[in-house]
Copies of this chain bind each other. A is one copy, B any other.
Amino acid sequence: MEQKKIYLDDLEIPRQWYNILADLPAPMNPPLHPATGKPVGPDDLAAIFPMPLIEQEVTPERWVPIPDEVLEKYLLWRPSPLCRARNFEKVLNAPVKIYYKNEGVSPPGSHKPNTAVAQAYYNKISGTKRLCTETGAGQWGSALSMACNMFGLDCRVFMVKVSYEQKPYRRLMMQTWGSECIPSPSNITNAGRNVLAKNPDSPGSLGIAISEAIEEAVTHPGSKYSLGSVLNHVLLHQTVIGLEAQRQFEKIGVYPDVVIGCAGGGSNFAGISLPYVRDKIHGKQVRIVASEPTSCPTLTKGPFAYDFGDIARTTPLLAMFTLGHDFVPEAIHAGGLRYHGMAPIVSHLLKIGLIEARAFNQIETFDAGVKWARTEGFIPAPETNHAIAAVVEEAKKAREEGKEKVILFNFSGHGIIDLPAYDAFMSGRLEVHDLPQNEIDRALRAIEKHPKPR
Contact = CB atoms under 8 A, between A and B. Distances in A.
A377 B146 CA distance: 7
A105 B77 CA distance: 10
Nearest to A73: B377
A105 B20 CA distance: 32
A105 B105 contact: yes
Interface stretch (A167-175, A189-197, A387-395): A167-175
Given A7-B7, A9-B7, A419-B176, A378 B1 contact: no
B1 A72 contact: yes
In this complex, the member of A176, A376, A426 whose beta carbon has the largest number of chain B beta carbons within 10 angstroms is A176
Contacts of A379: 107, 173, 176
Determine the interface band of chain A, counting residues with CB < 8 A from chain B.
35 or more
A92 interface: no
Contacts of A416: 109, 169, 173, 416-417
Interface in A269-283: none
Tell me if A's interface is mostly helix, strand, loop or mixed: helix
A176 B370 contact: yes
A422 B171 CA distance: 12
Contact of A11 (B1, B177, B423): B1
A93 interface: no
A378 B172 contact: no
A420 interface: yes
Interface in A140-170: 146, 149-150, 169
A97 interface: no
B9 A75 contact: no
Interface of A: 1-5, 7, 9-11, 68, 71-73, 75-77, 83, 87, 105-107, 109, 113, 146, 149-150, 169, 172-173, 175-178, 370, 373-379, 416-417, 419-420, 422-423, 426
